[in-house]
Every structure is written in structure tokens, then in C-alpha cells.
């Protein structure tokens, strides 16, 4: 077997070639990516080339390391330095626990408070070190439940022969696992790092997304192979998180009196943004001009000024010159005083990017692909033209606060509340997936304050009647909570919902219409009629077009998407808000 030192020299040769392939356009692709093998059936020096497919997630450095005493087990790590510039490489090991190996992707926002509360003796400045101390003292389940943040981790305990996997509540950080019938386990931030892993089994090994909010325990055998012995949920989005008792915000006033609720919403939202300021790299914010991104950007700028950041917060919008989003974002940026960037976007540029976008997404969901193109292109601009690396965004608000237009048609407040929870649980397949892959493709670190645990659990605890659309306006409670605060312009606070994939182009012709016109020339009726797909068969030419690209990169992997995203309670054949009979654009747009 090739020695690891020799392999590392070889790996540098592979990096440029494979990252060029990953970028989809011949240029080197540039967050943090984790990868691990336990019980590999093949030479590690061969297997490790697969890890280079996620090099874009960590452009600052990378490392592969064998596990002592297990010649067929290793970790791979691609690093984007965000918090600790000196001690940031992984797998993380410290002198106090030489038998523990940690490879993780994420940010733990309460690591300082937990360290102080339990008087842990730290060796590094890394937020992830808290996982080692918590595991040693409390075990894996309590460790995971005390983490306030977003994360995906692989934790190896060689002393007790255990391997642990875990992923945050909403799956903000991605993780996939592959396991063969004979106990070979492979784990990676993105599925593309596992598709070409070789193994000795005659039957194909299934690659699956690791379930959000869960941890899994494996016994590690002397052979390096593993056996799954426990898979459990450590947190549900409808419950108050266990780490809430160690939060910086004191217990909130109780009761459902409207003014109390509105005050609590403001307090928790500000706290959600505040804790996410943790970074040594420049912070920016995506700004579509909709309610959610506008609230995030405005709160971010306010808190950045209070924290006396040494630079202005940059905001970024993308769209055609007359797009509703660009015009609205311009108003918000002027109001909050951000350093605003507008990225010009044409349908032709978007169409050219679809292929590489689907490669990075690892999905063929229609609305996800549509919405990802603009986010992918604005992320590309941020990486190439600015020094912002930590990017705030408004993901999660629509699912939490019933922001989709179809919620106007909910048969009851209880039905709407139940669908809100369903959407949150499925975020890892749709909006959260889009937000992660499009930013990580360009080495950016995503922050999503609307998915803060305390904020979401509080909002979901409110009476169902308080959370439904009111007076013909969706997200009425959230809007009302910030009414009169002058955080964002009132006209933006009450702006109607506009799907991102629609709002980035002209009101005259939306992005999805431009896409469909192009696809009409690429796919004929016969191709669609003859298409044979047993899982999620495409019903439209657009769905067929995306599926064909997906199958080119990930043949036979359609089960990664359980179903297409579609509105409920209304006869819809397309996920675009503009196709719904209840869609009414703002008059001033």
C-alpha cells in the first residue's frame, strides 16, 4: 500500500484536475468538507482521490490522515478557515483525549458558554473542540443536544471502538453515508465524494443523505469494518432545545398576548443574528429585497455597527435591471446603509449555468434548480469580486412562518401548522440544500438565522391561529412584530411573497418562462413520452431536461430526492408562485 506521505504528494497533482472538473467550466473550483472511510476494501491512496471532488468546500487547505492501528480507515478534510486561523485543521485531536478523532463541518455558537459552564480545559480556539469535551463527559446523545449551531460530524473513539455520526436539526450542513453489507462505511459532505468509492461487494452500496437531527452509533471492529447499533433523533424542531438553558437570552415572558409574542420574536431574532457574527473572515449578506433577507441584512448591519466591525457589511442582489428583487433590494440597502452590490443577470447566462448547477446540487427538483441558478451566480461574483466569505441569508423563514402563497388556501390553522413542520423537516432536500451547495461551490460559508433553534421552537409553539396569513398577507405575525421599528422600509416589510426564481427576472417574463422556452427547443414530445423512470418520473419537458443532466452525473441515484416540491391545497402543475391563481404582484412593481 502506498504510504500516506507519498500519497499526499500525488494528491496535489489530482487536486487541480478534479477541482477543474467539479467547477464545470474548466476553472479551479474554490466551506469546509469532511470525508471518512472505515474498513475500506481497496487501497486508500486510490479511494482518497474521490475526496477531491469536494475540494470546493475548503479552498484554504486539505489533509488526509490514516487512523492509528487501522490501516484501512482514514479521514479527509478540506478547510475553509473561519474561526481559528492557527488550529483549524482536522481531524481534530487534543492531548487530553488522544483516542478521540473529530472531523466536522459547521459552527457551534455556544461553545464559549458551554466551556465556561462546565469548566472545560481547552487546547485550541476551535469551536469544534467542545464536541470532544461534551462527549467525554456526557456521551454522544447529550453532546449533540447541547450544541447550538449547525454541524455534520464524524467522531471516532478508538479506546471504546465506536464511530459516531451526527447532523444538525435542519440539515443546514450536509452529510451523506454509504455502507456495504459487509460493514464498509464511507461518509462525505456531498454525495459526489462517494459515488466512485470502490468496494468488494457484488451488490451496489446505497448512498443516502444522513437524516437531520439524528446521531448514529457504530461498533468499530478490529478489521476496521463497522456495525450500526443505534440511530436516534436527538432533537425535534417542535421542542425547545436542551441548550436553551445555557443561552445568552434569559427566559422569555410567557403567555400569548400579542405584544408579548411580538417582543419575544424580536428578541430571539436579534439573538439569532448576534450569535452568528462569530468569524475571523469578512461577513456579507444576500439581499433579494424580500421580507426575509431584508430583515436579516438590516439586523446584521445594526449589530455589526454596535460591535464596531472594522468594515461595512456588503449586501448582494442579483437580477435583470427591471427585476422586482433588484429594485426592492436597492431600497433596503439604501435604508440600512450597507455596501451594496448588484449582479447583472441575463436568462442566457442562467441557462448556460444550469448544467454545473445541477452537478453541485445533486438534485433534479424543479423549483430547486430554478432558484439555485441565481444564487449560484451571485455566489460566484462574491468569491471572485469581493473578500466576503461568511454569507448570511434568509432561508427557512418561508417554511417556519408560512410564507408560501399556497398557505392562503390552508383548510385550517392546524393543517397549516402541520405543513409548516413538514416543510421544515424537508428543508435538507430543498431550500437548505440549494443554499448550501450554491455557496459552498464557491468556498463561501452560509449563516441562516431564521433556522436558529430557539427562534424556530418558539415560533412553532405559538397558537396555530396566530401564525396563519391574515388580511390577505402571508407571514403577517412576523411582519407585525417589526412594524414601526424602522428596521427596514415599511413598503418592504409588507411586500408580497415573490419566489426567488421569479423575482430575479423581469415582471414581463419570469426566469422560469425563459427556461421553459429554451427547453422547448431542446426536448421534443417524443423524448418525454418515451422517458422511462421508475422513481419521480418527469411530467414536463423541464423536469425531463433536469433529470437528464442529473442522470449524466449521478446515474441511478434518483432516490436522493423523495419527491418534487409542489404547493398544497391548490391545483398546481408548476411550483412557481406566478402560476397560481391567487398570485397578485405588488402594484408598484
End-to-end alpha-carbon separation of the chain, Å?
65
Quick check: helix, strand or coil at residue 180? coil
Helix (H, G, I), strand (E, B) or coil at 502: helix
Q: Is 127 annotated as a binding residue?
A: yes
Q: DSSP letter at 429?
A: G
- Residues 372 and 361: beta-carbon distance below 8 Å: yes
The question of whether 32 is a catalytic residue gets the answer yes
Q: Where are the alpha helices (DSSP H) in 42-151?
A: 44-47, 111-118, 129-138, 140-145
C-alpha cell at 546: 433536469
What is the rounded distance in angstroms from the CA atom of residue 298 to the CA atom of residue 471? 25
Q: Which of 32, 48, 50, 103 is catalytic?
A: 32
Beta bridge partner(s), residue 216: 165, 231
| CB atoms inside a 10 Å sphere around CB 228 | 15
**Is residue 136 helix, strand or coil?**
helix
Helix (H) or strand (E) holding 99: strand 97-108
Burial of 244 (0-12, 13-18, 19+ CB in 10 A): middle
Burial of 569 (0-12, 13-18, 19+ CB in 10 A): middle
CA separation (Å) from 19 to 26, 40, 292, 378, 552? 9, 24, 33, 20, 18
**Rounded distance between C-alpha atoms, residue 287 and residue 332, angstroms:** 8
**CB-based burial, 141-180: b 16+ in 10 Å, e otherwise:** bebbbbbbbbbbbbbbbbeeebbbbbbbbbbbbbbbbbbb
* Diameter over CA atoms, the chain: 69
Backbone angles phi and psi of 489, in degrees to 5: -55, 140
**CA-based radius of gyration for the chain:** 23
As beta bridge partners, residue 100 has 157
Residue 34 near residue 103 (C-beta atoms within 8 A): yes
Per DSSP bridges, beta strands 339-344 and 314-319 are parallel
Q: Write down the number of H helices and E strands in the chain.
A: 21, 17
Residue keyed to cell 488522544: 98
Q: Is 394 annotated as a binding residue?
A: yes
Cell of 559: 432516490
Name residues whose C-beta falls within 8 Å of residue 440's C-beta, 6 or more positions apart in sequence.
Answer: 31, 33, 56, 57, 360, 446
Grid coordinates belonging to 465: 391561529
How far from the centroid of its chain's Cα atoms is residue 294's Cα? 19
Q: Find cell 393543517 and name the residue.
A: 415
Q: CA-CA distance, 220 to 39, in Å (whole number)?
A: 9
Is 393 annotated as belonging to a binding site?
yes
CA distance linking residue 528 with residue 544, whole number of Å: 7
Positions marked catalytic: 32
As annotated, the binding site for ATP includes 286, 318, 393-394
Mark the binding-site residues for L-glutamine, compressed into ranges: 127
Binding-site positions: 127, 286, 318, 393-394
Amino acid at each position: 500500500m502506498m504510504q500516506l506521505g507519498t500519497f499526499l504528494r500525488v494528491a496535489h497533482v489530482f487536486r487541480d484536475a478534479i477541482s477543474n472538473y467539479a467547477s464545470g467550466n474548466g476553472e479551479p473550483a474554490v466551506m469546509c468538507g469532511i470525508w471518512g472511510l472505515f474498513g475500506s476494501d481497496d487501497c486508500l491512496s486510490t479511494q482518497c482521490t474521490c475526496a477531491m471532488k469536494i475540494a470546493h468546500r475548503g479552498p484554504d487547505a486539505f489533509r488526509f490522515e490514516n487512523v492509528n492501528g487501522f490501516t484501512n480507515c482514514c479521514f479527509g478534510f478540506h478547510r475553509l478557515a473561519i474561526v481559528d486561523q492557527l488550529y483549524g485543521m482536522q481531524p481534530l485531536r487534543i492531548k487530553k483525549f488522544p483516542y478521540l478523532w473529530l472531523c466536522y463541518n459547521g459552527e457551534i455558537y455556544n461553545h464559549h458558554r458551554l466551556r465556561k459552564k462546565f469548566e472545560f480545559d481547552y487546547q485550541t480556539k476551535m469551536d469544534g473542540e467542545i464536541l470532544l469535551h461534551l462527549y467525554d463527559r456526557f456521551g454522544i446523545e447529550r453532546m449533540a443536544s447541547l450544541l447550538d449551531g449547525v454541524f455534520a460530524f464524524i467522531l471516532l473513539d478508538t479506546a471504546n471502538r465506536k464511530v459516531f455520526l451526527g447532523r444538525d436539526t435542519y440539515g443546514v450542513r450536509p452529510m451523506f453515508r454509504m455502507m456495504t453489507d459487509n460493514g464498509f462505511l464511507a461518509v462525505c459532505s456531498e454525495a459526489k465524494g462517494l459515488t466512485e468509492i470502490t468496494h468488494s461487494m457484488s451488490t451496489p452500496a446505497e448512498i443516502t443523505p444522513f437524516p437531520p437531527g439524528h446521531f448514529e452509533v457504530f461498533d468499530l471492529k478490529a478489521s476496521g469494518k463497522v456495525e450500526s447499533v443505534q440511530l436516534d433523533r436527538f432533537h425535534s424542531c417542535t421542542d425547545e432545545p436542551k441548550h436553551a438553558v445555557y443561552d445568552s437570552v434569559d427566559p422569555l415572558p410567557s403567555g400569548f398576548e400579542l405584544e408579548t409574542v411580538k417582543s419575544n420574536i424580536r428578541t430571539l431574532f436579534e439573538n439569532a443574528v448576534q450569535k452568528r457574527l462569530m468569524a475571523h473572515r469578512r461577513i456579507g449578506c444576500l439581499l433579494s429585497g424580500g421580507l426575509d433577507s431584508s430583515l436579516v441584512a438590516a439586523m446584521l448591519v445594526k449589530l455589526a455597527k454596535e460591535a464596531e466591525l472594522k468594515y461595512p457589511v456588503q449586501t448582494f442582489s442579483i437580477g435583470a435591471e427591471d427585476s422586482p428583487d433588484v429594485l426592492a433590494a436597492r431600497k433596503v440597502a439604501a435604508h440600512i446603509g450597507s455596501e451594496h452590490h448588484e449582479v447583472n443577470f441575463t436568462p442566457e447566462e442562467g441557462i448556460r449555468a444550469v448544467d454545473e448547477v445541477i452537478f453541485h446540487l445533486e438534485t433534479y427538483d424543479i423549483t430547486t434548480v430554478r432558484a439555485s441558478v441565481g444564487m449560484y451566480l451571485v455566489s460566484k461574483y462574491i468569491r471572485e469580486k469581493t473578500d466576503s466569505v461568511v454569507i448570511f441569508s434568509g432561508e427557512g423563514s418561508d417554511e417556519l412562518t408560512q410564507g408560501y402563497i399556497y398557505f392562503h388556501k390552508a383548510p385550517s390553522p392546524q393543517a397549516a401548522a402541520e405543513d409548516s413542520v413538514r416543510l421544515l423537516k424537508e428543508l435538507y432536500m430543498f431550500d437548505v440544500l440549494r443554499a448550501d451547495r450554491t455557496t459552498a461551490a464557491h468556498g463561501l460559508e452560509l449563516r441562516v438565522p431564521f433556522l436558529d433553534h430557539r427562534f424556530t421552537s418558539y415560533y412553532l409553539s405559538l397558537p396555530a391561529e396566530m401564525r396563519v396569513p391574515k388580511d390577505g398577507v402571508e407571514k403577517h405575525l412576523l411582519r407585525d412584530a417589526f412594524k414601526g421599528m424602522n428596521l427596514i422600509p415599511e413598503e418592504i416589510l409588507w411586500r408580497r411573497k415573490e419566489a426567488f426564481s421569479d423575482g430575479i427576472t423581469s415582471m414581463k417574463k419570469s426566469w422560469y418562462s425563459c427556461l421553459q422556452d429554451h427547453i422547448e427547443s431542446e426536448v421534443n414530445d417524443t423524448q418525454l413520452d418515451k422517458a422511462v423512470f421508475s422513481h419521480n418520473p418527469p411530467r414536463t419537458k423541464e423536469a425531463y431536461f433536469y433529470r437528464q443532466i442529473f442522470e449524466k452525473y449521478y446515474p441511478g441515484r434518483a432516490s436522493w430526492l423523495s419527491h418534487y416540491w409542489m404547493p398544497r391545497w391548490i391545483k398546481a402543475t408548476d411550483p412557481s408562485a406566478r402560476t397560481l391563481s391567487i398570485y397578485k404582484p405588488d402594484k408598484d412593481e
